[in-house]
Every structure is written in structure tokens, then in C-alpha cells.
Structure 1
Amino acid sequence: MSAAGRSSNRPGVRSTRGRPVRGGIQRSPRRWLLPVAMSVVTVLVLALYYSPILGVRSVQVDGLAAVPERTVLDTAGIELGNPMLQVDSEAIRSRLGAVPEIADSEVHLQWPSTVRLEITERVAVAYVPADGPGESGVRLIDAAGVPFRTVPRPPAGLAQLRLGDDRADGVRTAMIALTALPADLRAQVTEVRAERPQNLFLVLAGGRQVHWGESTAADRKAAILVPLLTRSGQVYDVTSPDLPTVA
């Protein structure tokens, strides 16, 4: 047996291309670098989570028109100095959702120290007389049918809703019709009669009426109504979009 063959059988010796390598298995330093790196990252994350080093220094509010900024800040409940990583965006959005005038909100963390609140306010498209205990004036209603604010008098360009016993269905049907109309035509609607939600009437400035009927095919009815109103008449019937009439 040759010397090379004998050396390959000796303990602690490995042959690499015929060259003996002594010292047994050598461990790579990469095996302990990963655990150390993970430990360092964990310590840093914990330090940032509990430390005020990257704490909230300011709160910015965007999108306000009617809601006071102080109302938003107080409701959001964001404490200055708290670590940014402890800001609970969903909890903040939930609290802001309790403000009647706010339709939606978004919470953005702007590092290193600013929380930005993006607010979407409700926009009134109709109103009903305020009828709560001790209330006077009118209640504004947005496109989703949500009453959200009481004001002393109706703003210009809004339609009054006249509702029957089924108020919820009446509001829903009225909103479907109003939001289907182009903005300039909607501004001409002074009244929506929804005493019977499935037999809706719109009253326009000047006294002309639109017999809308059910809430179905709202977009088609609105598209037909625009040219139909160029014809002389007092009652414009779009209950059947295939057979609109003017009387």
C-alpha cells in the first residue's frame, strides 16, 4: 500500500486531492454569526418599543373642513412621548369612528417622530327636520344615509327628505336616487318624497316633479332624466326607463 493510501486511514487526517489536512472538522464562523445578529436585532427592537428615544413628538391632522382639529386630537388620544412603535393605528381609527362627522380615517407613522391623521369628513347631500328631544333646526345626512350634524337652517343646494313610517328604507332609497344624479341636477332637487320608499318623487326648483319609482336602475334613470328635462312639462316619469314620459 502506498504512503498516500496509508495516510488516508490515519485518525484526524483527511485527504483533499491527495494532501493531508490535520485537525479534524473545522467549524465555520458563519454558524454563530446568525444567532448573534438576531440577538442584536431583538435587543434593538425591544429598545425602540419601550424607549422614548423614537417617541411621538407631533401629530399632524389633514383633511379637515368642518370638524375642529382639537376634537380630532382629543378623540385620537395620541400621547406625546410614547414610542412610535406603540402607536395602535386600529384603536385610533376606532375612536375617531365614533365622531359622527368623520366618515373614515387613516393613521400614518412618519418616522422618526410624527403621526399623521388623514380624515375624511361626511358631506351632506340632504336633510331632515331635527326631531330629537330639545333639538331644533335640521339634521344633515350624507350619501351613505347617515345623519351626522344638526344645524340651525338647511344649507343651500340640499334636498329635504319627507319620510314615511319606514324611515330607514326611505332614506336608503332617497340616497340611491340623489347620488345617481349629476351634481348640477342634484343641486336643483329641493325635496325628495319617500313616504312610500318604492314610489319615490323628486321635486325640482320651480315646482317640476320627477316620478322616480323604485330604487332599481338608478344610473339609467338619471341618464334618461337629463335630456328628458329639456322638454316642457310638469311631471317627468322615469319609473320605467324604457318608456319615460312627460306630462
Structure 2
Amino acid sequence: MNASGRASRRPGVRSTRGRPVRGGVPRPPRRWLLPVAMTVITAVVLALYFTPILGVRSVRVEGVAAIPEGTVLDTAGIELGNPMLQVDSEAVRSRLGEVPEIAGSEVHLEWPSTVRLEITERTAVAYLPADGPGDSGVRLIDATGVPFRTVPRPPAGLAQLRLGSDRAEGVRAAMIALTALPPQLRAEVTEVRADRPQNLYLGLTGGRQVHWGESGDAARKSAILIPLLTREGKVYDVTSPDLPTVA
């Protein structure tokens, strides 16, 4: 208040007291917009899920060499025309896992209409004579010890497993030893003998033999064996990595 008792006014500012505010009464919020938007979104999702608007038009298989592509497609069970949103990736992977030759798989949805199946095949590192009723040939075994395919004759470069009574434990011990070897040395192994899983022998090309012993310390034994094989001999003993011998 100034000396005359009147409220001071700032220059350029006019009072609106007693005057109607321009623009009228503020509009209420449009509450109907949210329900409408949710209805539209729901309709779109239902249309995509239950109709072939975005249906599967193609299924592409990658990573197979020995497995027929038709086997993968039939096992995956993905029907053309089914909505992409109904493709159950976990169920597809589970079905593909029933194929012995498949070590793993990935299912990729590539919008708008393609499903890509990425397959990892098992790779043989050893073999066993086929022993089922009426079987002939050999059973290929991968690095995890899984027998996955029967073939008429063993491929070159694979080791034969000669096992005792405890076959499962013998395979496990043999795979630990084989997979510890570098690829170039593994290719020289012609057989792995495991009369007892705790006492392994590796037969090498040239009539050489490695007394491996138990499966423990596999990485250390492999590292010692590489320079040890440069020495003349027929039997290379790494059962005790601290005291390797050549005879």
C-alpha cells in the first residue's frame, strides 16, 4: 500500500478483478480417451493372435549338414499360416531336443512372417560298435558322451572306445581324456581302452600307447603329453603328472 492507501500497480499490468476470464470455463479432461485406446489396442492384439494377419509364411533352417532339413521342419511342427504370436519357442526347442543328432537349437521370430531355426549338430569324437538287436555298424559319440547316430563304418580320425562292465562311467572318463587333448593330437588317438574307468589307456598311431590313468588332472596330463611324445618310445606314462615316463 502506498501513502494514499491505494494498491500500487506494476506498469503494464491490468487487474482482471470483476471481469470475466477470457476463454470461458476450462474444459474437463477427456476421460473417454483411455478406454477407447485400450479397446483399440486389445482388438489389434486379438487380431494378431487369433488371425493370420501376421501369420508364419516361411520357416528357415540354419546350421544343419548331416541332418535332413525336412527332419528339422517336421519335428519343429510349425505350421504355415499360424499367427506368429502363437509360435511357442520353448515348445519348439523341446521337440527339436528329441532328435538325437541335435545338440541345441534357437528359435528366432523374424517379423513380420519368418521363423528362423538355428541348429547345433552333435559332432562325433569317438565311436562304439553298435550293440542293439539287429544293429550293425558303429554308434557315433559326441564330446558329452551321447551316442547319437549309427553309421555303417567309423569315419576316419575317430577313436574307438573299448569299455569294461561300467560302460556309462567308462564313456564319461574317456570323453574327459579325449576332449582335454588338442585337436591335432586327438586325431592321432585310435582307441581309448577303459577296462576300468580309473585306468585309461590311449592307443596312438604308430603303435604308441599312453597310460593315462584316471580321468583327473586331464588338462595337466594333456599339456605334459605333448612334449613327452617328441621323445623316442612306445609307452608314455602320465598317470602321475609329476613323474611322467617314457619306455
- The separation in 1 between residues aligned to 2:82 and 2:222, in whole angstroms, is 52
- The separation in 2 between residues aligned to 1:162 and 1:19, in whole angstroms, is 105
**Counterpart for residue 183 of structure 1:** 183
**Counterpart for residue 40 of structure 2:** 40
- Cα gap change, 1:87/1:150 in structure 2, threshold over 3 Å: closer, same or farther? same
Structure 1 residues 135-150: aligned runs within 5 Å:
135-150=135-150
**Counterpart for residue 169 of structure 1:** 169
**Counterpart for residue 29 of structure 2:** 28
Unaligned ranges ≥5, structure 1: 1-15
Q: CA deviation at 1:39?
A: 2.6
SS at 2:139's partner residue? strand
- The separation in 2 between residues aligned to 1:177 and 1:149, in whole angstroms, is 22
Q: Give the percent of matched residue pairs that are identical in Structure 1 and Structure 2.
A: 81
- The separation in 1 between residues aligned to 2:84 and 2:48, in whole angstroms, is 8
Structure 1 residues 1-247: aligned runs within 5 Å:
27-29=28-30, 31-247=31-247
- The separation in 1 between residues aligned to 2:188 and 2:19, in whole angstroms, is 97
- The separation in 2 between residues aligned to 1:131 and 1:18, in whole angstroms, is 105
Name the TM-score, length of structure 1 as normaliser: 0.88
**Counterpart for residue 8 of structure 1:** none
- Cα gap change, 1:35/1:232 in structure 2, threshold over 3 Å: closer, same or farther? same
SS at 1:109's partner residue? strand
- Cα gap change, 1:220/1:17 in structure 2, threshold over 3 Å: closer, same or farther? farther
Unaligned ranges ≥5, structure 2: 1-15
CA shift digits 1:5-34 (9 cap, x unpaired): xxxxxxxxxxx99987798885323x4433
Amino acid at match of 2:103: A
Q: CA deviation at 1:135?
A: 0.3
SS at 2:206's partner residue? coil
- Cα gap change, 1:20/1:168 in structure 2, threshold over 3 Å: closer, same or farther? farther
- The separation in 2 between residues aligned to 1:18 and 1:243, in whole angstroms, is 107
SS at 1:206's partner residue? helix
Amino acid at match of 1:28: P
Give the number of equivalent residue pairs.
Answer: 231
Q: CA deviation at 1:37?
A: 2.4
CA shift digits 1:77-136 (9 cap, x unpaired): 110000000001111111111111111111000111111000000000000000100000
Q: CA deviation at 1:183?
A: 0.3
**Counterpart for residue 9 of structure 1:** none
